[in-house]
Each structure stands twice: as C-alpha cells, then as structure tokens.
C-alpha cells in the first residue's frame, strides 16, 4: 500500500494536505516535531480530527543549534523558517524507511508567507532537505512541476490543488467541508515568531554560551532586565507567574523578596557582582507595596535555600528600569 509521512505542524494547512492525500486512499502517518520553541499539542489535536496516527519526534538539541546560526537567516523575528522546514523534512526523510513510506507531504502553500514560502524558498527548502525527490506539497502542487510520485502514478495529480497566496478562503472552505472545526491561527504555536520572546532569546544567545531548556523556558515569563553582560534579572508579574517560574529557576540563582511588603519575586541569573545584587534588591523594593518608601528591607538567598541575607535599599525608579528592559 502506498504510504505517506505527513509533516503535521499543528496548523490547518498541513492537516488539510494530509487529508487530501488520505482521501486518495493512501495510508498517511503524521509526523510532528518537538523543540524548545514548539511542541506537539496542536498537532495531536489536528491529527485526531483527520483521524491519522501521529509520531512525535524530539529534535530539540539539534534544532537549537540551528536556531543559533541558521544558514538561511531569520524571518521577521527569530524564526529561521527555511532552515527549520528543511530540518523537519530531513528528519522525516530519515523515517521513510522505518515506516515503510514512499514519500513526504507538507502543508506549504506557494506565496503564503513572503519570505519562507515563495517559489525560490520552496526550492531551497526541498534542496536542503536532502530528499528533494520525495517531497509532495498537495495544497499547491498544481503550481509546481509534477513530482516523481505524480509521474509514477503513486498520487493522482488531478486530485491535488493549486492554492497560492495569503488568502485563507480555500483552506477555510475545505476545513468546513471536512468538519475540521478546531484549529489554531497560523504559526500560533511557535515562540520564535513572537517579537518579545525573540528579543529575549537574542539576548540569551549573546550572553550565555551553554543554554539549558530551563533557561529558554524562563524567557516566556516575567519582566527580563539585562543589568550587565554577567547578569540578568527576572521579575514576576503575577502569582501564577511566580509559581510557573519556580519550575525553571536553578539553585545557583539568587532570589529576592521585599521583607515587609507583598510583591514580586526577583531572580538574578548569571554571575552577578555586588552592584548587580544591589540592583536586584532595589527592584524587589520597586515591585512591592513598599515602592514609595524611602528604603525597603529585602531578604535574599540562593533558590531552594533559606533567604537568610538582608539588605536595605532605595526602590529603583521606572526610568532606570526602562534602560535595561529586554
């Protein structure tokens, strides 16, 4: 039986592409990817709706190395979509044999994204993937040269589509026709397309050589304040954030709390010196109910240990914080 591996991103297009091929009587197995910047949550939801099995591939470490230095650069933010797609295709290609599959399908649509899905980018992705004769793009196939799979009769080209451009009308009509009601917005699940996350990631790449999953996860929470090349401060904004952040803080991080007032938890990461420690304490004063006091007592210590150090500080003024905010 002809079998295809469908790269399921979790968005609508890749699921429609998989369904289009499945409806030709071809066996379709979904493949989705897990990295430090996106996960399988949406893909699992979409695979269920089109009733295909889904294999989750964790390529976090290799993907992170690529994000640091993408051969084809970044999109609008820190999203290296061309390299990312090519890497996913390459991984899928390596799985063809394991799943006894004949080819790979993706949900790409010609000219849907100006930088990563124009004709030349689609060509680059396919070339870089190392599996150029195994990739089929069912949603825009009629705008492209017929593939080996179509020429050899594995796939019926007349049942493929010729969608191009940024309008989502045809995709939404197909979704309605096929009863796919629940789908996220395009690229909604990838943190690398988020401008704020991207700024923080860029800062992290600049200042930390060894990156852990926890350090990357921390980027999604709190205010981030770069005080020096050696130290970064994170301030929680809500009680929920404080609980979440605790999952990613390490025992080498210092934690600060205003002693006599309710307020944010302040964390300093890196190798802070006395000045940076004092600034973190002043932030604990600023982000507490004692912010208008002349001086605030702040307790601090290493995370997971008693906060047994104390310092009296003047709360930081907002103008000063703005200078360091990432």
Which residues here bind ligand SF4, judged by CB under 6 A?
38, 79-81, 84-85, 187, 190, 192-193
| Minimum distance from residue 210 beta carbon to ligand SF4 (Å) | 22
Residue closer to ligand SF4 (CB basis): 39 or 222: 39
| Minimum distance from residue 95 beta carbon to ligand SF4 (Å) | 18
| Minimum distance from residue 136 beta carbon to ligand SF4 (Å) | 18
| Minimum distance from residue 9 beta carbon to ligand SF4 (Å) | 6
Residue closer to ligand SF4 (CB basis): 37 or 103: 37
| Minimum distance from residue 40 beta carbon to ligand SF4 (Å) | 12
Residue closer to ligand SF4 (CB basis): 61 or 317: 61
Residue closer to ligand SF4 (CB basis): 130 or 188: 188
Three-state DSSP string of the chain? CCEEEEECCCCHHHHHHHHHHHCCCCEEEEEEEECCCCCCHHHHHHHHHHCCCEEEEECHHHHHHHHHCCCCCCCCCCCCHHHHHHHHHHHHHHHCCCCCCCEEECCCCECCCCCCCCHHHHHHHHHHHCCHHHEECCCCHHHCCCCHHHHCCCCCHHHCCCCECCCCHHHHHHHHHCCCCCCCCCCCCCHHHCHHHHHHHHHHHHHCCCCCHHHHHHCCCCEEEEEECCEEEEECCCHHHHHHHCCCCCCCCEEEEECCCCECCEEEEECCCHHHHHHHHHHHHHCECCCCCCCEEEEEEECCCCCCEEEEECCCCHHHHHHHEC
What distance in Å separates the CA atoms of residue 298 and residue 231, rounded to the nearest whole number?
Answer: 19
Residue closer to ligand SF4 (CB basis): 193 or 236: 193
| Minimum distance from residue 80 beta carbon to ligand SF4 (Å) | 6
| Minimum distance from residue 38 beta carbon to ligand SF4 (Å) | 5
Residue closer to ligand SF4 (CB basis): 139 or 190: 190
Residue closer to ligand SF4 (CB basis): 77 or 269: 77
């Amino acid at each position: 039986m002809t079998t295809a591996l469908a790269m399921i991103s979790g968005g609508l297009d890749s699921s429609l592409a998989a369904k289009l091929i499945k409806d030709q009587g071809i066996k379709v197995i979904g493949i989705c990817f897990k990295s430090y910047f996106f996960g399988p949550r949406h893909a699992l939801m979409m695979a269920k709706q089109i009733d295909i099995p889904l294999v989750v591939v964790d390529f976090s470490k290799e993907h992170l190395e690529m994000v640091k230095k993408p051969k084809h650069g970044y999109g609008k933010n820190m999203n290296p979509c061309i390299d990312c797609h090519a890497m996913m295709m390459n991984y899928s290609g390596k799985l063809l044999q394991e799943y006894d599959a004949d080819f790979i399908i993706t949900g790409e649509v010609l000219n849907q994204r100006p930088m990563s899905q124009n004709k030349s980018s689609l060509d680059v992705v396919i070339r870089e993937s190392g599996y150029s004769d195994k990739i089929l793009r069912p949603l825009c196939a009629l705008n492209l040269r017929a593939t080996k799979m179509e020429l050899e009769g594995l796939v019926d080209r007349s049942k493929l589509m010729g969608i191009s451009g940024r309008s989502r009308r045809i995709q939404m009509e197909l979704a309605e026709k096929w009863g796919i009601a629940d789908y996220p917005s395009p690229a909604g699940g990838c943190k690398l397309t988020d401008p704020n996350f991207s700024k923080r990631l860029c800062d992290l790449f600049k200042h930390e050589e060894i990156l852990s999953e926890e350090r990357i996860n921390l980027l999604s929470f709190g205010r981030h304040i770069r005080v020096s090349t050696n130290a970064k401060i994170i301030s929680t904004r809500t009680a929920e954030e404080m609980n979440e952040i605790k999952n990613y803080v390490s025992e080498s991080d210092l934690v600060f709390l205003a002693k006599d007032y309710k307020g944010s938890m302040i964390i300093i990461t890196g190798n802070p010196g006395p000045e940076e420690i004092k600034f973190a304490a002043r932030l604990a004063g600023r982000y507490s109910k004692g912010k208008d006091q002349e001086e605030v007592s702040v307790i601090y210590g290493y995370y997971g240990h008693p906060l047994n150090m104390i310092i009296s500080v003047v709360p930081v003024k907002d103008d000063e914080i703005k200078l360091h905010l990432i």
